[in-house]
Amino acid sequence: MDKLTGFVDKKGKAWDMSQYASLLGPEATIQSYRQGNLNGMVESGATLGRISEGGSANTCSVCQKWAGQVVSLTGDVPGIPSIDEAIEEGLFHPNCVHMVNVISSDAELDYLLSLNQEYLDYLMQIHNILIL
């Protein structure tokens, strides 16, 4: 039997096994770390997180809209998009450099939201409500 050296994925892309392993290894680790991190935050009572800044336009263009923004970890905070929405829009794509950090106080939330009028405008637009 021939040794398996690669495969073609559902989208028709041909993968060499070493390419695939180099992608899957770290990525699987990162994804499970992120999920564990999120679960831990919610279990400890956190409701809000902030998506990390960082990543260049080239490595993470899909996340530019979300970088530095405040998200609801539980999806039940009026006026704040949920982490699931961010993920659906592409956050945490393969090789994503972003993480979520918990926001622990109202004062910190007020401060973060005050930083970015564009973000407030965006929230009001998509949720059609006023926040703060």
Span interacting with Zn ion, options 15-23, 42-50, 89-97, 118-126, rule CB under 5 A: 89-97
Backbone angles phi, psi at 52, to 5 degrees: -65, 150
Tokens at residue 70, please?
């405040």
Does residue number 123 form part of the binding site for Zn ion (CB under 5 A)? Answer: no
Q: 38, 70, 83, 96: which one contacts Zn ion (CB under 5 A)?
A: 96
Least distance from C-beta 125 to Zn ion, angstroms?
A: 22
Tokens at residue 60, please?
């993470």
Least distance from C-beta 102 to Zn ion, angstroms?
A: 19
Short-list 99, 101, 103, 102, CA closest to 30? 99
DSSP string, 85-108: HHHHTTTT-TT----EEE---HHH
Least distance from C-beta 70 to Zn ion, angstroms?
A: 17
Residues that bind Zn ion (CB under 5 A): 60, 63, 96, 98
